C-alpha cells in the first residue's frame, strides 16, 4: 500500500474528503518526523513505536581496494510493532 492508496482507504472508512485525509496523513508524517529529529519516541497505540537508535562506529572495508575504512557512528529511525499489531498479522 502506498500513500495514495492509504488516503483512499481513509476516505472510504471515514467519509472524509480526499483533501482532508491527505492533509491528515501529511500532518501525521510531519509530526512523527519532527519528534524523531528532536530525539523523542513516538508511540501509537495499536500500531507500534518509532524511535531514533544509534549505530555504533565500526571498521569497514572498501570492497574495491580491500582497504580498511572507519565508519562513523550514525543515527537511524526504527519502528517496533505493538503486540496488538503482531497478533493481528499472525492470525
Per-residue pLDDT at 35: 97
Residue 63 lies in a domain: yes
pLDDT in tens, 24-63: 999 999 999 999 999 999 999 999 999 999 999 999 999 9
Per-residue pLDDT at 44: 95
- Predicted TM-score (pTM) of this structure: 0.79
Tell me the torsion sign for CA atoms 51, 57, 61, 67.
positive
Claim to verify: residue 61 and residue 90 sit in the same structural domain: yes
Per-residue pLDDT at 29: 95
Domain region containing 78 = 51-91
In 3D space, the residue among 40, 45, 53 whose CA is nearest the CA of residue 79 turns out to be 53
In 3D space, the residue among 47, 51, 56, 41 whose CA is nearest the CA of residue 78 turns out to be 51
Domains contained in the chain, number: 2
Per-residue pLDDT at 58: 95
Residue 66 lies in a domain: yes
Residue 46 lies in a domain: no
Amino acid at each position: 500500500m502506498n500513500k495514495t492508496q492509504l488516503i483512499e482507504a481513509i476516505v472510504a472508512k471515514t467519509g472524509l474528503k480526499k483533501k482532508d485525509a491527505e492533509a491528515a496523513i501529511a500532518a501525521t508524517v510531519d509530526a512523527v518526523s519532527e519528534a524523531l529529529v528532536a530525539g523523542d519516541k513516538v508511540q501509537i497505540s495499536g500500531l507500534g513505536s518509532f524511535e531514533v537508535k544509534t549505530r555504533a562506529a565500526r571498521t569497514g572495508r572498501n570492497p574495491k581496494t580491500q582497504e580498511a575504512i572507519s565508519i562513523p557512528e550514525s543515527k537511524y529511525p526504527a519502528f517496533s510493532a505493538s503486540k496488538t499489531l503482531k497478533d493481528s498479522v499472525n492470525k
